[in-house]
Amino acid sequence: MTKAELIEALNHDIADEFASAIQYINHASLITGARYMAVQAELLVHATEEMQHATTLADQIAALGGKPSTEVGPVETSDDPEEMLRQDLAGEKSAVARYKQRIRAAMQLEEYGLARVLQDIIVMEEEHVKDLEMALGL
Ligand SMILES: [Fe+2]
Ligand SMILES: [Fe+2]
Protein backbone atom coordinates (compact mmCIF):
# COMPACT_ATOMS: atom_id res chain seq x y z
CA MET A 1 0.00 0.00 0.00
CA THR A 2 1.29 3.49 -0.85
CA LYS A 3 1.05 6.48 1.46
CA ALA A 4 -1.67 7.96 -0.80
CA GLU A 5 -3.67 4.72 -0.60
CA LEU A 6 -3.30 4.69 3.19
CA ILE A 7 -4.58 8.29 3.37
CA GLU A 8 -7.58 7.30 1.23
CA ALA A 9 -8.29 4.28 3.46
CA LEU A 10 -8.03 6.43 6.60
CA ASN A 11 -10.54 8.83 5.05
CA HIS A 12 -13.01 5.93 4.69
CA ASP A 13 -12.35 5.20 8.37
CA ILE A 14 -13.19 8.80 9.32
CA ALA A 15 -16.50 8.57 7.43
CA ASP A 16 -17.28 5.36 9.33
CA GLU A 17 -16.36 6.97 12.67
CA PHE A 18 -18.71 9.91 11.97
CA ALA A 19 -21.43 7.42 10.97
CA SER A 20 -20.94 5.35 14.15
CA ALA A 21 -21.20 8.44 16.34
CA ILE A 22 -24.48 9.40 14.62
CA GLN A 23 -25.75 5.82 14.82
CA TYR A 24 -24.98 5.57 18.55
CA ILE A 25 -26.74 8.88 19.29
CA ASN A 26 -29.75 7.68 17.29
CA HIS A 27 -29.84 4.27 18.99
CA ALA A 28 -29.35 5.75 22.48
CA SER A 29 -32.36 8.00 21.95
CA LEU A 30 -34.56 5.17 20.61
CA ILE A 31 -33.62 2.42 23.07
CA THR A 32 -36.16 2.73 25.87
CA GLY A 33 -37.22 0.69 28.86
CA ALA A 34 -35.69 0.04 32.27
CA ARG A 35 -33.65 -2.94 31.07
CA TYR A 36 -31.80 -0.77 28.56
CA MET A 37 -30.90 2.16 30.84
CA ALA A 38 -27.30 1.06 31.39
CA VAL A 39 -26.97 0.17 27.69
CA GLN A 40 -28.26 3.60 26.69
CA ALA A 41 -25.56 5.30 28.80
CA GLU A 42 -22.92 3.00 27.27
CA LEU A 43 -24.02 3.87 23.72
CA LEU A 44 -23.56 7.57 24.47
CA VAL A 45 -20.05 6.89 25.79
CA HIS A 46 -19.31 5.05 22.54
CA ALA A 47 -20.66 8.00 20.51
CA THR A 48 -18.19 10.34 22.21
CA GLU A 49 -15.31 7.89 21.73
CA GLU A 50 -16.08 7.52 18.00
CA MET A 51 -15.91 11.31 17.62
CA GLN A 52 -12.52 11.23 19.37
CA HIS A 53 -11.39 8.59 16.87
CA ALA A 54 -12.53 10.81 13.98
CA THR A 55 -10.62 13.74 15.47
CA THR A 56 -7.47 11.64 15.89
CA LEU A 57 -7.71 10.29 12.33
CA ALA A 58 -8.19 13.82 10.94
CA ASP A 59 -4.99 14.95 12.71
CA GLN A 60 -3.09 11.94 11.41
CA ILE A 61 -4.30 12.41 7.83
CA ALA A 62 -3.33 16.08 7.90
CA ALA A 63 0.09 15.13 9.33
CA LEU A 64 0.56 12.69 6.42
CA GLY A 65 -0.13 15.55 4.01
CA GLY A 66 -3.72 14.52 3.19
CA LYS A 67 -7.05 16.31 3.42
CA PRO A 68 -9.38 14.84 6.07
CA SER A 69 -12.75 13.82 4.63
CA THR A 70 -16.07 15.31 5.77
CA GLU A 71 -18.06 12.41 4.30
CA VAL A 72 -20.34 10.35 6.53
CA GLY A 73 -20.64 6.59 6.01
CA PRO A 74 -23.93 4.65 6.05
CA VAL A 75 -25.98 4.76 9.27
CA GLU A 76 -28.28 1.87 10.26
CA THR A 77 -31.25 1.99 12.57
CA SER A 78 -34.24 -0.13 13.55
CA ASP A 79 -37.43 -0.14 15.65
CA ASP A 80 -36.15 -3.15 17.56
CA PRO A 81 -33.61 -2.56 20.39
CA GLU A 82 -31.87 -5.93 19.91
CA GLU A 83 -31.56 -5.30 16.19
CA MET A 84 -29.99 -1.87 16.86
CA LEU A 85 -27.42 -3.49 19.15
CA ARG A 86 -26.69 -6.11 16.48
CA GLN A 87 -26.17 -3.30 13.93
CA ASP A 88 -23.76 -1.59 16.36
CA LEU A 89 -21.90 -4.85 16.97
CA ALA A 90 -21.51 -5.49 13.23
CA GLY A 91 -20.10 -1.97 12.82
CA GLU A 92 -17.60 -2.48 15.63
CA LYS A 93 -16.44 -5.83 14.24
CA SER A 94 -15.90 -4.23 10.87
CA ALA A 95 -13.97 -1.36 12.55
CA VAL A 96 -11.66 -3.87 14.28
CA ALA A 97 -11.02 -5.63 10.94
CA ARG A 98 -10.34 -2.30 9.18
CA TYR A 99 -7.91 -1.05 11.83
CA LYS A 100 -6.00 -4.34 11.73
CA GLN A 101 -5.39 -3.67 8.04
CA ARG A 102 -4.46 -0.02 8.70
CA ILE A 103 -1.96 -0.96 11.42
CA ARG A 104 -0.31 -3.47 9.07
CA ALA A 105 -0.13 -0.82 6.31
CA ALA A 106 1.26 1.84 8.67
CA MET A 107 3.98 -0.55 9.89
CA GLN A 108 4.85 -1.49 6.32
CA LEU A 109 5.25 2.23 5.45
CA GLU A 110 7.32 2.71 8.62
CA GLU A 111 4.72 5.14 9.98
CA TYR A 112 5.26 3.88 13.52
CA GLY A 113 3.63 6.84 15.28
CA LEU A 114 0.49 6.35 13.21
CA ALA A 115 0.58 2.60 13.92
CA ARG A 116 0.71 3.38 17.65
CA VAL A 117 -2.25 5.77 17.45
CA LEU A 118 -4.25 3.18 15.46
CA GLN A 119 -3.42 0.56 18.09
CA ASP A 120 -4.90 2.84 20.76
CA ILE A 121 -8.06 3.13 18.64
CA ILE A 122 -8.33 -0.64 18.06
CA VAL A 123 -8.10 -1.26 21.82
CA MET A 124 -11.22 0.89 22.22
CA GLU A 125 -13.05 -0.77 19.30
CA GLU A 126 -12.38 -4.17 20.86
CA GLU A 127 -13.85 -2.87 24.12
CA HIS A 128 -16.90 -1.65 22.18
CA VAL A 129 -17.32 -5.17 20.74
CA LYS A 130 -17.22 -6.65 24.25
CA ASP A 131 -19.69 -4.06 25.62
CA LEU A 132 -22.19 -4.83 22.85
CA GLU A 133 -21.77 -8.61 23.17
CA MET A 134 -22.50 -8.24 26.88
CA ALA A 135 -25.55 -6.05 26.20
CA LEU A 136 -26.82 -8.72 23.77
CA GLY A 137 -26.11 -11.51 26.24
CA LEU A 138 -23.63 -13.17 23.85
FE1 LIG B 1 -14.16 4.28 16.53
FE1 LIG C 1 -16.31 1.72 18.27
**pTM score of the predicted model:** 0.96
Output the CA 57–ligand 2 centroid distance in Å: 14
What spacing in Å lies between the alpha carbon of 49 and ligand 1's midpoint? Answer: 6
Q: For residue 32, what pLDDT is reported?
A: 86
How confident is residue 33, by pLDDT bands cut at 50, 70 and 90? confident
Ligand nearest to the CA of 131: 2
Domains along the chain with CATH numbers: 3-65+79-135 (1.20.1260.10)
Mean pLDDT, rounded, of the chain = 97
| All residues with CB under 5 Å from ion ligand 2 | 92, 125, 128
Could you tell me which of 107, 132, 131 has the C-alpha nearest to residue 118? 107
| Distance between Cα 45 and ligand 1 center (Å) | 11
CA neighbor of 98 nearest in space, from 41, 45, 57, 70: 57
Q: Residue 35 pLDDT more than 90?
A: no
Whether residue 50 contacts residue 24, with contact meaning beta carbons closer than 8 Å, is answered with yes
Longest dimension (CA), the chain: 50
Q: Are 99 and 13 contacting, i.e. CB atoms less than 8 angstroms apart?
A: yes
- Count CA atoms within 13 Å of residue 119 on its CB side: 9
Residue 34 scores a pLDDT above 90: no
Predicted pLDDT of residue 42 = 97
Q: Could you say which ligand is closest to the alpha carbon of residue 43?
A: 2
Q: DSSP secondary-structure letter at 34? A: G
pLDDT over 90 at 14, yes or no: yes
pLDDT recorded at residue 95: 98
